[in-house]
Amino acid sequence: MDSNTTLIGFSNTCSKPDNAPPSEVKEVVAVIFPFLAPPPFAQLPFKVGDIIKTGKHYGTVTSLNQTDRPVRITWDASNSEDSFSWNYTLDEIRVLKISLVPQFIPQKTTGELPACTTIVLANSQQLQFSNTTTFQVESLTEHHILIFTLDHYYLFPINLFPGYPTSCAIDVFTPEQLEASRFLSFNDLKIRAKTHLFFEVPDNFLEIVLPIQKQQIKEKLTKQLSTESYHILDFDIAWEEAWQYCLKHLAKKHGWSGFREGDCLEQRRNQVEQRGIVISLNIQALRPFQIQWDSGEIQSYSLTELKSLGITHIPTLIKLSPNVAYQVSEDGSYFKAWIGFRTKALAKAWLIVIKKLVGRLSYLIDCQIPELQHTGSKYEYVVETPRHKTLKKRLEALREVAELDLEKMPK
């Protein structure tokens, strides 16, 4: 081949004799033709038309969009189920182990490069395959595909590869392998059970679940698998694991009885004040809520114990103005308010006016550190003894303070 030639036509043959000496690998750095436009949803794991699978179920990606459920899959019909379509989130695709069926299998897949495919090699040489050209896949990695055609090896970046598969060699199973393949494996059963629970269990399931429902859902799955072969022990274990996973997933995502993992809680009762975080929520345990307190102590509680011990969510800080903020517990038993000032002089000037409205105030607190601030101001008063007994009246008084211009001296 003339090294000065930049455009060369090849014949449409692919032959690799077993005794042929190793050929030099030609590294491809660019594809001029055909032009490969980037997919419209490059951030997604699939493209429209991709064949996917989970366990022994196969389907096709039929559409992509930019919603929270971006991938729509149409599943193939089977002996026990009709074909159906469903939109999935990326988390569901990962959890259900929905994966791409590989198009190129080393040593087994043959395919074709389109006519007039034009490439640029690492040595800057430009080559063109004049006709549709057959190739065989030699090896495949995450980033590259190595093919053999026309007595040469070509190493393409996988994202630039213009070829398409045309055939794939298959292995003929032995009678023993065929018999074994008739039975659903433990992983197959677990995937079936997880998928079944995904469709059967609503988001609020933990709030309404009854003991009999577990058995009813399991029996429904058993009917769906009536035409399949599997070992009963494998099914029972797979079902139990899928059930436990489902409950944990719902508890983490939606919580139970108003609480979920990661919630910050506090206890204010009989002069006891401490804060902690829910580190585990297991609704099947006698004491479902496991809390780690700031002291480092970890304790478990029932829902009744949380209520009786005064353990509640940390109240949200509510700001009525840039200078006024308050917190109130769910039951109204805890109330705290802060009034902030830019300077000490402003704080002292407004002290009497504010006391008449809200009640006794604390000493002026220096809040130079942002973590200590509630209003965002450098100096704050805490309402220690509210003037009014009812929450409604206390909030009305705070709103009056919020309407004052505390950035200027009182008139």
Cα 13–18–21 angle (5° rounding)? 90
Residues 6+ positions from 393 with CB-CB distance below 8 Å: none
**pLDDT value for 9:** 39
In a domain, 146, yes or no: yes
In a domain, 408, yes or no: no
177 neighbors 229 (Cβ within 8 angstroms): no
- Which of 141, 170, 199 marks a domain boundary? 170
Q: Detail the DSSP E strand segments found in 14-88.
A: 25-33, 51-54, 57-64, 71-75, 84-88
Same domain, 284 and 214: no
Say if residue 225 is exposed, middle or buried (CB neighbours under 10 Å; 0-12, 13-18, 19+): middle
Same domain, 24 and 112: yes
92 neighbors 106 (Cβ within 8 angstroms): no
CB count within 10 Å of CB 242 equals: 22
279 neighbors 268 (Cβ within 8 angstroms): no
Q: What total of structural domains would you count in the chain?
A: 5
Residue 370 carries which DSSP code? G
**pLDDT value for 173:** 65
Same domain, 55 and 45: no
Same domain, 248 and 292: no
**pLDDT value for 220:** 92
State which residues form the domain around 292.
264-310
In a domain, 411, yes or no: no
In a domain, 409, yes or no: no
Name the residue with tokens 């008063």: 381
In a domain, 259, yes or no: no
99 neighbors 88 (Cβ within 8 angstroms): no
The helix/strand/coil state of 307 is: helix
The helix/strand/coil state of 314 is: coil
Q: Which long-range contacts (CB under 8 A, 24 or more apart) does 42-49 make?
A: 44/70, 44/71, 44/90, 45/71, 45/90, 45/93, 45/100, 46/71, 46/100
Alpha-helical (H) ranges within 257-317 are 303-308
Distance CA 55, CA 194 (A): 12
Same domain, 146 and 5: yes
Distance CA 303, CA 311 (A): 10
Distance CA 85, CA 329 (A): 46
Same domain, 220 and 235: yes
Distance CA 339, CA 350 (A): 10
Distance CA 308, CA 272 (A): 13
- Of the CA atoms within 13 Å of residue 274, those in its CB half-sphere come to 14
Alpha-helical (H) ranges within 255-384 are 303-308, 344-358
264 neighbors 317 (Cβ within 8 angstroms): no
Instruction: Fill in the amino acid letter for 181.
Output: S
In a domain, 303, yes or no: yes
In a domain, 410, yes or no: no
Tens-digit pLDDT string for the chain (411 aa): 433 233 443 334 454 555 444 568 999 999 999 987 776 776 788 888 888 998 878 899 999 998 989 999 999 887 667 888 899 999 889 888 899 888 899 998 999 999 999 999 999 999 999 999 999 999 999 899 999 997 889 999 998 999 999 888 876 667 776 666 678 888 889 988 988 898 888 888 887 777 788 899 999 999 989 888 888 999 999 999 999 888 888 888 888 888 888 888 888 766 667 888 888 888 888 899 999 988 888 999 998 998 888 888 877 788 999 999 998 877 777 788 999 999 999 999 999 999 999 999 999 998 877 767 888 888 999 998 999 988 899 999 999 999 999 999 988
Name the residue with tokens 């009885």: 257
129 neighbors 111 (Cβ within 8 angstroms): no
* Cross-strand partners of 134: 112
In a domain, 22, yes or no: yes
Same domain, 55 and 137: no
Same domain, 95 and 107: no
Q: Which helix (H) or strand (E) holds 239?
A: helix 232-254
Same domain, 23 and 66: no
Give 108-128 as a DSSP string: TEEEEEPTTEEEEETTS-EEE
Q: Detail the DSSP E strand segments found in 116-263.
A: 117-121, 126-129, 133-140, 144-149, 152-157, 164-168
Same domain, 11 and 72: no
Same domain, 324 and 383: yes
Name the residue with tokens 């940390």: 314
Judging by DSSP bridges, how do beta strands 84-88 and 71-75 pair with one another? antiparallel
Say if residue 274 is exposed, middle or buried (CB neighbours under 10 Å; 0-12, 13-18, 19+): middle
Same domain, 59 and 96: yes
Domain CATH for 301: 2.30.30
Distance CA 138, CA 272 (A): 70
